[in-house]
Amino acid sequence: MQFFKPYTLNLGGRLLSVDSPLVMGILNTTPDSFYAGSRCDSEELIRNRIRTIVSQGADIIDIGGYSSRPNADDITPEEEFRRLSLGLRLIKEEAPDSIVSVDTFRASVAERCVGEYGVDIINDIASGGLDPQMIPTVARLKVPYIMMHMRGNPHTMTQLTDYTDVTADVVAWLGAKAKEAALAGVTDIIVDPGFGFSKTVEQNYEMLAHLELFATLDLPLLVGVSRKSMIYKLLSTTPDNALNGTTAIHMISLMKGASILRVHDVAEAREAVTIFNATFSPKNQ
């Protein structure tokens, strides 16, 4: 058991003290994300999604304009930023006080999102591996940086699943990348094991079983499993029917030290956090 460890985030000079796990609501401004229910490629759909995320109690809105599902179509940085711009503009209108994270692996896109829209956090599936300018750019922008483990890219990652010990290998890799970022001047780092990226279904559950080992990095831990194939393949179902499995993994993750849950279904994740807090509050330990 690895209980929640409080931490702080510096959001553009505003220090956020976090004493309970956060819920990050996913806003996909894409036409091809793996979960059809999350696709928002029109102003009306994006606006409605923002309202839902906020009303259901998300702490962070994570907006992405590039689908990272296996074999998704590649798009240009210009198209990615165009998609993000629409969503970021609507967030400013619908939820101007929200903490906003941008899911991108491109330094130029990250820089424009922070510079033009005041985005608070950069969420990079490649930890700088797909753009060598990303880490120095984040350091210069002075925003928190989510570093995820992935091998290759979304087109090659399913073939790159050879590990000696998946958990130990991923912990070591993230530790090295976090050290690289810190030496470059990144001051707020969050790590993401990358469930579903460069890992088989079995390896995902092996890593989940030993998730508490990520505490050795002494960094906030983000878990993103929402409706992923590790759930629906195991249960012989579909992303549309993977909510119950998602919630089960969320509770396991919280009990093993997760700091942030990145989710499609905000209300259900918020309930899991509430139950976790009530059960494992200091007075009950």
Classify 61 as helix, strand or coil: strand
Candidates 199, 228, 256, 270; catalytic one: 228
pLDDT for the residue numbered 71:
64
pLDDT for the residue numbered 274:
97
Candidates 49, 256, 262, 270; catalytic one: 262
Known catalytic residue at 262: yes
* Structural domains of the chain in order of their starting residue, each with its CATH number: 7-280 (3.20.20.20)
pLDDT for the residue numbered 153:
84
Question: How distant, in Å, are the alpha carbons of 202, 249, 253 from that of 209?
Answer: 11, 10, 9
Burial class for 2, CB neighbours closer than 10 Å (0-12, 13-18, 19+): middle
pLDDT tens per residue across span 158-206? 888 999 999 999 999 999 999 999 999 999 999 999 999 999 999 999 9
Q: Which helix (H) or strand (E) holds 18?
A: strand 14-18
Strands 189-192 and 145-148: parallel
CA atoms within 13 A on the CB side of 258: 29
Mean pLDDT per block of 10 residues along the chain (285 residues) reads 89 92 94 59 88 97 85 83 94 96 97 98 97 98 97 86 97 98 98 96 98 98 97 96 98 97 98 96 67
d(CA 181, CA 26): 25
d(CA 251, CA 81): 34
Known catalytic residue at 47: no
pLDDT for the residue numbered 68:
75
pTM, to two decimals: 0.94
